[in-house]
Amino acid sequence: MTNSSQTVPAGSKRTPLSRWLTFGSAAAGIGLLFLCCGFQVSVISLVLLPLGAGALTVGILASQGKLRGAAPLRIALAGLAALGAMLVPTSIAGFVIRHLDRGDYLRWYGTHVEATVDTRKCEWINKGRHGNTDTMGCRGVTWIIDGRQQTGSMEIKGEDHPAAAGVPDVVKVTGYALDDAAVTDRDIRTGYQAGRLGAVPLWAGGAGLLLLAAGYGGVSALAKRSTAR
C-alpha cells in the first residue's frame, strides 16, 4: 500500500511560492539595470534590487521544497534569510557608489559649500584609455561648514579651472563636501536617485551574509527533520 504522506520530491511539483524565483530574478535584474541609469527613474533600483534579492532567496527555498507545509518558525527563518539576501547587493551597490560615483553620494549626504581652490595644487585624474579626462583632483582645498573652516581634497571639472592668461590661480567653486572630501557641482547628476544607496555601509553586507547563512541553514535543518519523521 502506498503511503499517502510520502514527501513529494523537490522540483517534481511547482508550488505557488516557487514563482518567487522568477519574480526575484526579474526584479533584481531590473534593479541592476536602473542602478546604472542616471535619471530620476533610478529610484526604482532602491526598491527592486533588495526586493528582488529577497524574493529570489524565498524562491530558491520554495523550489527546493523546503517551505512546503512550513511551520511559523521555518517561515521566520526564511524571512531572516531573505533579509540577509537583501542587505548583500544593497551594501555592494553602496560601496560602488561611494567610490566610483562620489559626486552622487555627496549630493545626498554632504553639505553644499563654496570652496577655495588653489589650481596650482590640481592635477588631471581618471584618465581613460586614450589619456582623455575632464576631471582634476585638487589638494589643500578649504571650505566652511557651520562656521568652521575645513581642509580636504576636491574633484573639479576642467571648466572650473581658469585657462585664460592673467586669471588668478586661486578660484572659488561651489560643490558638496563631507568630511575631508568634496566635489564640484559640475560633477553631480542631480537626478540620480540611486545615489542614496551610498549610505549603506559595507559591513551591512557581511551581516547580511551571516543572516542568509543562518536563515537558510535553519530552514534546511527543520525541513530535513520534518521529512525524517
- Domain residue extents for the chain: 16-101+194-228, 103-191
pTM for the model: 0.68
For 189-200, what is each residue's pLDDT tens digit?
Answer: 666 677 788 888
d(C-alpha 218, C-alpha 202), whole Å: 25
3-state SS track over 49-64: HHHHHHHHHHHHHHHC
Q: How far apart are the C-alpha atoms of 145 and 30, rounded to whole Å? A: 39
The residue ranking higher by pLDDT, 53 or 141, is 141
Average pLDDT over residues 197-209: 90
Question: What's the pLDDT at 20?
Answer: 61
Instruction: Give the Cβ contact number of residue 19 at 10 Å.
Output: 14
Q: Kindly report, residue by residue over 64-105, the tens digit of the pLDDT.
A: 666 766 677 878 888 888 888 888 888 888 888 888 778 878
